[in-house]
Amino acid sequence: MNDKVWATAAILLSLLSTAGCLRASARDPGVIVVGVVSGPNNLDPRLGTDAVSQNIQQLIFSAIMRVDEHLKIVPDVAERLDNPEPTVYVATLRKGVKFHDGRELTSADVVYTFRSLFDPTFANPYRGAMRMLKSVDARDRYTVVFTLTQPFGSFPVNLVFPMIVPDGAGPSFYTHPVGTGPYKFVRNVTDDRVELAAFDQYWGGAPANRGVVVKIIPDNIMAGLELRKGVTDVVVNDLPPDIVHQLERDPRLKIERSPGTDYQYIGFNMRDPILKDVRVRRALSHAIDRRAIIEYMRRGLAIPGWASCRRRPGPSIPTCRFSITTPARRAPCSTRPVTRIPTEMDPRPAFI
């Protein structure tokens, strides 16, 4: 998950088409400027796992699978993914997918990408997540076979990241990455910007604009001002609710909201001699004013939630009403029926 801490619907702030006159200086109107609070750690998709890096990687690269708008795992550069045996997954690749240097993506690139994760000289964050992968082999030019050590039903999730790099991509690949995504890398000016140009041979169709500039603005107030002046076109999820609230009053700006996957919660150390007492935990739950948090701290950009997991799933989940006067021993948490147990991918964020 991204390292966002506020459980809110995803927020997209963009300039209306009539706001072009606000730009402080002339620039190519065909290039979208996106404001972010920090630069990418690494543009090699096998290494960079921070939110900014992965967002840029998704513009430069393609993966075997992807997460769609309904949070379902669907084919990306693969035409289909079959599971003929409990421990075998077979990916059939699309034909004619081009890297930005003109070379066609084949099974050799996929095999190299996943085998490189187990290279002892190549330290990377995915090796542990791939521990169930016994082997990855090319059956032919467009077919890849993943063999697991044991059945693992959620293995397709592991094919979303990392994204596919060219066969032979070495340690310096991050300095000038080459992928098969809708935009090709131009340059990375550290702590300033990342420039991308549209790739007209993208297998999913050429982008409608000429490029993207990811502009690094580490200060939230400056990010809001840059958006208001027209220096940037879009800021996604990086502005705190108070600044969003102020920008919402500007008729020249457009704010778009959609359900998000971020959530905020309180976790208790059950080994602590005080916290292991259910009455203490119940009292703390009663002391949390969820309505005030949502209304004043989050400016309405959140919804109340419930526990994200249970040790023994049942037909209902306990919830506690805010109260600072009711003795915990007399006010057990009420229950309400639910149709499912929320998970970390639940689009409805949770406050506990």
In a shared domain, residues 53 and 66: no
Is residue 21, in this structure, part of any structural domain at all?
yes
Domain boundary residue among 111, 145, 173?
Answer: 173
Provide the H-helix boundaries in 230-351.
241-247, 278-287, 290-292
**Mean pLDDT, rounded, of the chain:** 83
Is residue 206, in this structure, part of any structural domain at all?
yes
Q: What radius of gyration, in Å, describes the C-alpha atoms of the chain?
A: 23
In a shared domain, residues 182 and 54: yes
Nearest to 136 by CA among 149, 126, 125: 149
Provide the H-helix boundaries in 4-69.
51-60
Domain boundary residue among 147, 173, 199?
Answer: 173
Is residue 29, in this structure, part of any structural domain at all?
yes
pLDDT at 326 over 60: no
Across the range 103-130, mean pLDDT stands at 96
Across the range 320-347, mean pLDDT stands at 47
Is residue 249, in this structure, part of any structural domain at all?
yes
In a shared domain, residues 28 and 79: no
Is residue 3, in this structure, part of any structural domain at all?
no
Nearest-angstrom CA–CA distance, 87 and 84: 8
Full domain range(s) for residue 144 = 62-173
In a shared domain, residues 149 and 93: yes
Is residue 200, in this structure, part of any structural domain at all?
yes
**Phi and psi (nearest 5°) for 52?**
-65, -45
Q: In the prediction, which pLDDT does 342 show? A: 36
In a shared domain, residues 140 and 188: no
Nearest-angstrom CA–CA distance, 97 and 141: 12
Q: In the prediction, which pLDDT does 340 show? A: 36
Contact indicator for 247, 223 with CB cutoff of 8 Å: no
Domain with residue 119: its CATH number is: 3.90.76.10
The continuous run of DSSP H or E covering 49 comes out as none
Across the range 45-57, mean pLDDT stands at 96
In a shared domain, residues 82 and 216: no
Max Cα separation, the chain? 71
Single-letter amino acid, residue 265: Y
The partner residues of 82 in beta bridges, in order of sequence, read 90
For residue 184, CA distances in Å to 51, 80, 97 come to: 19, 25, 14
How many domains are there within the chain? 3
Enter the DSSP assignment of 94.
Answer: P
Q: In the prediction, which pLDDT does 296 show? A: 84
Q: In the prediction, which pLDDT does 339 show? A: 35
In a shared domain, residues 43 and 77: no
Is residue 4, in this structure, part of any structural domain at all?
no
Domain with residue 39: its CATH number is: 3.40.190.10
In a shared domain, residues 221 and 304: no
Question: Could you tell me what percent of the chain has a pLDDT over 90?
Answer: 59
In a shared domain, residues 16 and 71: no
Domain boundary residue among 141, 173, 205?
Answer: 173
Across the range 144-163, mean pLDDT stands at 96
Contact indicator for 83, 89 with CB cutoff of 8 Å: yes
Nearest-angstrom CA–CA distance, 184 and 202: 10
pLDDT at 10 over 50: no
The tokens for 46 are 């096998």
Relative to beta strand 211-216, strand 193-198 is: antiparallel
In a shared domain, residues 41 and 73: no
The continuous run of DSSP H or E covering 232 comes out as none
Where does the pLDDT of residue 259 fall: very low under 50, low under 70, confident under 90, or very high at 90 and above?
confident
